[in-house]
Structure formats: C-alpha cells, structure tokens
Amino acid sequence: MNKPLRIAMFGYGFMGKAHSNAYHKVARFFPELKYRPELQVLCARDREKATEFAKTWGYAEVETDWRKVVERDDIDVIDICSPNHTHFEIALAAAKNGKWVLCEKPLAMNVREAEEMAAAVEEAGVPNMVWFNYRRVPAIALARQLVDEKRIGRAFHYRGTYLQDWTIAQDVPQGGAALWRLDAAVAGSGVTGDLLAHSIDTAMWLNGPITSVVADTETFIKERVHQDTGQVQPVSIDDACMFLARFANGSMGTFESTRYARGRKNYNTFEMNGADGSVFFDLEDPQYLDFFEHTKTSGEKVEDHLTGWRRIHVTNFEHPYMDRWWVPGCTIGYEHTFIHALADFLAGVESGQPAQPNFRDALQTQRVCDAVLASAKSRSWVETGVDSAKAAVTS
C-alpha cells in the first residue's frame, strides 16, 4: 500500500530543481517503494520567486517563515536546500518536531554545528540523509563494488581533484542569492566546503577514514563588491585548496580543488591505486569507469598480453542502478544521481537499514574539511579527529 510522504523544501535554487525532479521521478522508476513524495510546501524568503518555482514544480503552497513549516502537522520531511548558514537552526528545529531531515552538503558551517545536528537527529530517532549525490553515479558505485570485491587490493594512493572556473573574473561580485558561495559568512568556506566536501566523502566511502592532513589555500582576488551592500569588501573564502592526506589503512592521498582552472566546468576526478588494480573516474565523462586489473580475485596475475587499462561503459543492467533505466548503451545524467539517493533513502527507511551518508557520516567529512582549513592556517599537519569506527566504509 502506498503511503504519501509530505515534503517541505527550503530553497529554490539549483539544488531545489535537482531535488524536486527526484521527488517527481522516484516512484516512477522505483515503483516498489512504499512512500510516494507529495510536494506540500516550498519555503523561501522571496515570496515572488518562491511562488514562481512552486508553480513550475508543483508545490501546493508557499511559505516564507521556516519556523512555521517545521511545526506543521501536515509535513513529514524537511529538505534543506538553503544556503549553508541556515542548515544548523533548521535541522535542529526539524528534528525536535519529529520530522525526517534531508540536508544538502556541506552539512554545517563547522564541526561544532555538525556534531549538534548529528546528535539531534539521533536523539529524535528521525531518518536523515545528506545529499552527497556522487555516491549514486553508477560508475562511482561500480568503483565501490570493485573495492568490495577485493579487485583493488591493498590501497597505496588516492588522488582527488575538483576543478571549476566560474569565479576567475575580477568583476564577479560576492554574496546575494546567486553568489552566496563566495561569502564566508553564508558559505562557511570556499572550495573546501563546496567542492572538496564531495571529494572527501567519495574518498572515505571508497578508501576509509582520512586521519591527518596538511593543506594550503589561496584567495586570488582579495576584494569583491558585495551584492547586498554594494560595497567593496574583503573576500574570506578559499578560491583554491590543495592538501595531502593519510588514510587509516596506511595509504596516501592528494586532493586539489579550485574555481580558477580555466576551461574546467565540473572536473571531478579520482584515481585509486592498489596492489591488485586501479580505478579512475571523471565526472565530465560520467558513463565510464576506467579499471586496471593486475591480479584476478583468484590470486592469478592477469596474463601480460592482456594487461592494460579497461574502459567500462557503465550502462548494462548488471551495473549499479542501471536496470532501472534504459537499454544498455543508453546513458543517464547528473539528475539521476538524486533520484538514486532518494530511492536508497526511502528503501532504507522501509527496511530499517538506513542508507548512507547520514548526518553522522557527513560529520566525519566536516571534520576533515575543518582540519584542512586549520592546517592551511597553521601550515602544519593536523589530525582530523575522524573516528575510524564510525567513519568505516559504509554502503
């Protein structure tokens, strides 16, 4: 029997579209799920823009006061897509009122907030998830499968990059509805929280806890006009970040992120090298996973004349999630990752085996992000404080 799940979403930007699309599509492609999302309330400060968004995406009503929404009896799920500095207060209130809580990344502005948020949802006993959607790219999920199948073997190296170019121009302002990611008071950090949070989550999902880091950051343009004030103000977010990492399993990692890589729009890559094999992924070519097999699972070495990188077109029914979509050879896109994440979340609620990443998982990523920023200030190695038991590789 289908059960309606009444959604209140906070925010109407880029992520609002991605989440709303997932709510519309999940029951059509995962029809076995018990819950059926219903778009009840769109909550945002700008009523005119919120009303336009709600009409387009089919929300029943609009509200501008988030406090009223979290207290309503006709709301089951609070989905936080608003800017980072709003996550903490909304999540705590939602948990207190017994709502399921979904939250965009990064979970919080800092570890202190993330700890309270994780504790709040756990104390309330409410289902929760953070939308680290890249775990649900079929090729990345296949990489995780290869790790689970012991095809990579003992890990030695992990390399992550996340490159964009949209803030290079001197005249790009900071702040406001569209550019709040450049305002530290709203975003918390720059590329570390916005981009590297994804890279860190993926890395720890594939390769286990990051235990220590040493980092450097740079802000290339020191002042920008703030859209809210019209005044030239200092820029305090990081435009670029690079760090070295040590994993609990003994492997080494390198991470790099910038918004100043001319020509790179959303270049999110990783490579993992192990004793028995390697994997490589590039989000700008997401239907492929590159795999190098040196040693078979039987322990035999692959014959010398057959060794070499293998490009796997991840569209077969045997590949993660792909049996839900089209015939083999037909690709899917970015928007499908949110549908997969929502389907996994709802299936986890039904089964009693919660899907990851939840708030506790996202707290571990926040610990690494904070350690990276602290290291960049001290210019020394910093322990992340990630709990190896709680941050163990989870499915």
Integer angstrom CA distances of residue 301 from 16, 92, 296: 48, 53, 6
pLDDT of residue 393: 43
pLDDT of residue 1: 64
Q: pTM of the entire structure? A: 0.95
Q: What's the rounded mean pLDDT across residues 190-210?
A: 97
* 256 has a pLDDT exceeding 90: yes
Q: What's the rounded mean pLDDT across residues 313-342?
A: 98
* 290 has a pLDDT exceeding 90: yes
Q: What's the rounded mean pLDDT across residues 145-152?
A: 98
Fold annotation for 135-383: Dihydrodipicolinate Reductase; domain 2 (3.30.360)
Mean of the per-residue pLDDT values for the chain? Answer: 95
Other CB atoms closer than 10 Å to residue 234's CB: what's the count?
11
Architecture of domain 3-133: 3-Layer(aba) Sandwich (3.40)
* 390 has a pLDDT exceeding 90: no
Q: What's the rounded mean pLDDT across residues 60-82?
A: 97
Q: Where are the domains of the chain?
A: 3-133, 135-383
pLDDT of residue 177: 81
Q: What's the rounded mean pLDDT across residues 360-376?
A: 98
* 138 has a pLDDT exceeding 50: yes
Q: Which string of b and e fits 63-91 if b means at least 16 CB within 10 Å?
A: beebeebbeeeebbbbbbbbbbbbbbebb
Selection from 164-173, 219-228, 255-264 with the highest mean pLDDT:
255-264
Q: Residue 122 and residue 120: Cα distance in Å, rounded?
A: 5
